[in-house]
């Protein structure tokens, strides 16, 4: 029985592709398509949803020092080799590899553009999945390496990030030069989100090659507010606002595994349950919440989260 009231929207989200096959000048085994929705998430009776949300896994170019052992143990001895790490993630069944170039951080290894480029090429050779490539989080350093990264991956149609109001000019120029898409990040403010998209497109960058990162709040740590920002973004897109119609990405893993709930030992908090299960549940629950809000890419860390979230998406995509 169909609902009595059916909402028909005048707009739809942009459809964006990450990755390029050999026939298209790249070396990926597949492409990942995102967006294209003409309705709110999974309401098939009101519109079309051509592409399911994608699940990415993070790969760092240095071994994370702040990850709990319960997460590190899932990867064995590959955490010191980003190429092997990426291959391992592909075996776990994710859709995309999200390469985080943490070693470029001036407070860590301060890796040079040449060192970073070598790492990126090694990861490209090790995995056939499309790549999301993000910097270390230091705007000045990220701006100094992004052009080399873009040129070394030219033809692969990667997703580069993250562009902020401080560095968007350099990132946009790099993405234009290499033929890539770009992640635009703002701090949980729908007006700033739209403003950054406008600034990027003013440089001649196509609005349908932008992915929005509205910031990510972990479960119990700002999740509800971030959820409402994504929901409002989706409603604006469906109402016809082209500067709010881009796909959305959320970095779930980096917010989940730093929380006390995912680190506290059973002896410290026995009422919280087994640590090995707790982190996966926290990461999975956060992921499915953002998927329901309208996120198109979920970036996670634990292989069990990949399995659980993908199963969840598959069930929701049944019309």
pLDDT one-digit tens code per residue, 44-59: 999 999 999 999 999 9
For 248-281, write each residue's pLDDT tens digit: 999 999 999 999 888 888 888 888 888 889 999 9
Say what the pLDDT of residue 5 is.
80
CB atoms within 10 A of CB 1: 3
| CATH number for 97 | 3.20.20.20
Percent of the chain with pLDDT over 70: 99
| H or E element at residue 96 | strand 96-100
* Residue found by looking up tokens 């920002």 in the block: 229
Residue 7 lies in a domain: no
Domain with 185 in it: 15-316
pTM of the complete model: 0.96
CA of 85: how far to CAs of 43, 75, 227, 290, in Å?
Answer: 37, 7, 31, 26
How far is 78 from 61, CA to CA, in rounded Å? 11
* Residue found by looking up tokens 């980003």 in the block: 82
Residue 254 lies in a domain: yes
Residue 3 lies in a domain: no
Residue 5 lies in a domain: no
Of 38, 58, 305, 51, give the one whose Cα is nearest residue 161.
58
């Amino acid at each position: 029985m169909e609902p009595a009231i059916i909402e028909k929207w005048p707009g739809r989200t942009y459809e964006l592709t990450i990755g390029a096959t050999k026939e298209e000048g790249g070396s990926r085994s597949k492409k990942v398509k995102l967006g294209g929705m003409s309705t709110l998430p999974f309401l098939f009776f009101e519109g079309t949803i051509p592409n399911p949300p994608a699940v990415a896994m993070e790969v760092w170019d240095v071994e994370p020092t702040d990850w709990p052992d319960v997460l590190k143990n899932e990867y064995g001895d590959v955490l010191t080799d980003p190429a092997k790490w990426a291959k391992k993630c592909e075996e776990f069944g994710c859709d995309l590899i999200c390469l985080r170039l943490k070693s470029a951080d001036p407070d860590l290894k301060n890796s040079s553009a040449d060192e970073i480029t070598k790492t990126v090429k090694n990861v490209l050779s090790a995995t056939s999945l499309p790549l999301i490539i993000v910097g270390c989080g230091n705007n000045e350093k990220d701006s100094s390496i992004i052009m080399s990264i873009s040129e070394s991956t030219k033809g692969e149609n990667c997703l580069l990030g993250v562009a902020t109001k401080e560095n968007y000019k350099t990132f946009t120029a790099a993405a234009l030069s290499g033929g890539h898409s770009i992640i635009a990040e703002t701090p949980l403010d729908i007006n700033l989100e739209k403003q950054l998209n406008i600034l990027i497109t003013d440089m001649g960058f196509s609005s349908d090659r932008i992915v929005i990162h509205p910031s990510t709040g972990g479960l119990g740590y700002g999740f509800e507010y971030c959820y409402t920002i994504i929901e409002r973004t989706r409603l604006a897109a469906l109402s016809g606002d082209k500067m709010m119609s881009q796909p959305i990405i959320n970095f779930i893993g980096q917010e989940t595994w730093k929380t006390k709930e995912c680190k506290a030992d059973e002896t410290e908090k026995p009422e919280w349950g087994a640590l090995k299960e707790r982190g996966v549940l926290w990461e999975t629950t956060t992921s499915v919440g953002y998927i329901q809000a309208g996120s198109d890419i979920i970036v996670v860390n634990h292989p069990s989260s990949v399995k659980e979230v993908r199963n969840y998406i598959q069930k929701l995509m049944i019309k």
